[in-house]
Amino acid sequence: MTATGFDLLPMGGVTLTVDDKIIDLSDSVTFKGVMLSGILDLLVAVGYTNASWTLKCDLTSHNVSKLLSLMEEHGYRHFRCDNSANLQKAPITDLSSVCVKRAIDRFPKQGTKRPWRLYQNYFVDFFVIYKVWFHQKLRNKVH
């Protein structure tokens, strides 16, 4: 802890590497709050900042279950989502505390439109996860 507050670390400060290359999480974008773009086989839980964190994590677990079922059904062994080059990006959260502002550049981003945007709204997320097919926007499936 610093004198001015917490020092927030994405993924608790864990360094991710792929083929000995360090992954910069700030280059990635959330996909439905479950995946990070460009990172193979990684799932995350990005909860709500304006409601129960576990409320969103429950929806996330359902989304993960749908993904795993889809993979099994089609015989996929890996998954990855890639954002388009022209995707407009925004900070992952709009929280305005000093410790968040100080660390926000280290965290993954979100897009400005679905499925890359985190709406912080249970009813919107419920509709997207339960009513919209998960694989409609999933790109670059790796078999």
- pLDDT per residue as tens digits for the range 59-82: 888 888 888 988 999 999 998 888
Per-domain residue ranges of the chain: 10-133
pTM listed for this prediction = 0.78
Phi, psi of 10 (to 5 degrees): -65, 140
Q: What is the pLDDT of residues 106-117, one digit of tens each?
A: 999 999 988 888
What is the enclosing helix (H) or strand (E) of 54?
Answer: helix 53-74
What the block records as the tokens of 137 is 């926007």
What pLDDT is stored for residue 138 in this prediction? Answer: 52
If phi > 0 it is left, if psi is from -120 to 50 it is alpha, else beta; for residue 62 that is alpha
